[in-house]
Amino acid sequence: MSKPLWLVVPAAGQGRRMAADRPKQYLPLLDRPVLAHTLERLHSAFPQARLILCLDDDDRWFTPEWVPFAQWQRVSGGAERMDSVLNALNAIDAQDNDLVLIHDVARPCVTQSDLLALYQAAECHAAGALLAMPVADTMKRASASGTSLHTEPRDALWHALTPQGFRYRQLYRALSDARQRGTLITDEASAVEALGDAPQLVPGRRDNLKVTHPDDLALAAAILTSQLTPPDRSL
């Protein structure tokens, strides 16, 4: 990397949909917390990067031994993802054109190849980039009562994944503008799009799972095991 790279990992969420006794980032996954796996994946691709970890001020589960980065700092997480990322941006001494990658703490299966592909795309495109994958399923528009109203064309529809990468000044402006408008964003790319910019979509692997529901933990364990198992070349 020719210039500083900042990694922002929002990890202040409570993960209430998991109905667990602790936030989902601390649930065990192959005998380690989800958070530890996620940070290890980021470190494998960007060992010299600077990590900004956004944690709840009352977090009683976190321990620094899970952080493999030499350069890292903890900042206060906010009520919403956007608040956490803005807190991180306010806490760092970054230059306008420094690259910032934001990654979901609940995506422990992201691969090194996808991380490097996203980094290269974000470096090359002025509007930034995000990992994503084309929609493969039939998409339905639902009514308020949960009935299917009609089928949405899936051409040109993509699932947004993370990481997402942008220049520091661009991202700061996008999130600040969204906050001033009172717009709740679910990913950083939507805030950048609201400025009139068009981030590059980088095709990512379908096993970049986001742990959200209880059965996702078993699926994540299977994915990690498969990724770490060398292929059988005996045939």
Mean pLDDT score of the chain: 93
Instruction: Give one DSSP letter per residue of 60-116, joined into a string.
Output: -S--GGG---SSEEEEE--SSHHHHHHHHHHHS---TT-EEEE--TT-TT--HHHHH
Q: What would the CATH number be for the domain defined by 5-228? A: 3.90.550.10
Q: Residue 231 has what pLDDT? A: 61
Q: Residue 76 has what pLDDT? A: 96
- Span 24-64, pLDDT tens digits: 999 999 999 999 999 999 999 999 999 999 999 999 999 99
pLDDT of 217 > 90? The answer is yes
How far apart, in whole angstroms, are the C-alpha atoms of residue 28 and residue 33? 4
Instruction: Give, as one character, the DSSP assignment of residue 27.
Output: S
Indicate the range of 2-6, 91-95, 220-224 predicted with least confidence.
2-6
pLDDT of 229 > 80? The answer is no
Longest CA pairwise span in the chain (Å): 60
- Span 173-194, pLDDT tens digits: 999 999 999 988 889 999 999 9
- What is the three-class DSSP state of 33? strand
Is-contact 209 111, C-beta < 8 A?
Answer: no
**Residues paired with 75 in a beta bridge:** 54
- Tell me the one-letter amino acid at 187: D
- Span 64-106, pLDDT tens digits: 999 999 999 999 999 899 999 999 999 999 999 999 999 999 9
| Banded model confidence at residue 153, pLDDT cuts 50, 70, 90 | confident
Radius of gyration, CA atoms only, the chain: 18
pLDDT of 232 > 70? The answer is no
Q: Residue 2 has what pLDDT? A: 67
Q: Choose among 170, 175, 174: nearest CA to 54.
A: 175
- What is the three-class DSSP state of 140? strand
Which sequence spans correspond to the domains of the chain? 5-228
Q: Residue 234 has what pLDDT? A: 53
Higher-scoring residue by pLDDT: 153, 71: 71
- Span 193-212, pLDDT tens digits: 999 999 999 999 999 999 99
Structure tokens of 29? 């996954």
Is-contact 85 53, C-beta < 8 A?
Answer: no
Give percent of the chain with pLDDT exceeding 70. 95
How far apart, in whole angstroms, are the C-alpha atoms of residue 235 and residue 221? 27
